[in-house]
Amino acid sequence: MWEVFKILDSFKDIFEKYYGKVYRQIALMINDDDKAQDIAQEVFIKLIKDPPHNDENIGGWLSKVATNQALNYMRSEKSLKVRELKVFQFNDTLISPEDMAIEKIENEKAKKVLSKMDRRDKLCLILKHSGYNYEEISISLGIKKSSVGTTIARAHKKFKELYEKEV
């Protein structure tokens, strides 16, 4: 109950520390960056609404919720069969449209490769490259902290292998 105050005080801190990671994780899981923003916001709304009790594991908790929300979204999209490649939106950005297109294509390829990987390896890679630490990854995936390094190393190898096969 005393945590009430801590949660209120630190919501902004938590947001600043984790929003980027949560967003990145979701953006890597789904094919729509705008939607990824929406889902990331849902994750933080859930944090206020129903925060975890043991808030020292906040990163692990957030990434678990993010995973669930992203999977949920993918399932609903799939069933509606409305998944189309989004038309690029050119905002006031420093990156030229050409660069952006190239980046986008590479990104699509990475996601395609990811989709061919074992679920645990895939998520582990996504979490790692979203910036979560080992403890958070271990909580999120439900694996031992001591085996996170091994899982990452193995997944990296697998990823590169599949990526090079993909044309």
Partner 1 sequence: MCFDEGTLQAYLDGEIDEALKDQIKKHLDTCEKCSNKLNELKNLNDFSEKAFKTSSIDLDKAWENLNKKIYKKERGVLNMLKKYKKYAAAAAAVALITASIALPPVQKVEAEILSLFRLNNFKAVTITPDDIQNIKDKFYQAGKIDLKQYGVIKVTGDYGSSKEFSKSNLDEIKSYVGYDFKLPQDNNDFKIRDSIYVQKGQSVEFKLNVDNINDLIKTFGGNKLLPENLNGKTFKIILGDSIHISSTDKNESDSSKNISYGLDIMKTPEIIVPEGVDIEKVRDAVINMPFLPDDIRNQIASIKDWKNTIPVPVTDADTIKDVTINGSKGIVISGTYEGSSDLEVYSNLALNDNDVIYWFSGNNMSPDELIKIAESMR
How big is the CA angle at 162 (ends 20 and 119), to the nearest 5 degrees? 55
By rule CB under 8 A, what string of x and - marks binding of each residue 20-49 to partner 1?
A: x--xx--xx----x---x--xxx-xxx-xx
Cβ nearer to partner 1, comparing 76 with 96: 76
Cβ nearer to partner 1, comparing 139 with 167: 139
Q: Let me know: does 28 contact 67? Beta carbons within 8 Å.
A: no
Binding residue for partner 1, selected from 32, 35, 107, 117, defined by CB under 8 A: 107
Write the DSSP symbol of residue 52: -
Binding residue for partner 1, selected from 32, 35, 51, 77, defined by CB under 8 A: 51
Q: Report in angstroms how near the CB of residue 141 gets to partner 1 at its nearest.
A: 8
Contacts with partner 1 in 131-160 (CB under 8 A)? 133-135, 138-139, 141-142, 144-154, 156-157, 159-160
**DSSP track, 5-68:** HHHHHHHHHHHHHHHHHHHHHHHHHSS-HHHHHHHHHHHHHHHHHS--SSGGGHHHHHHHHHHH
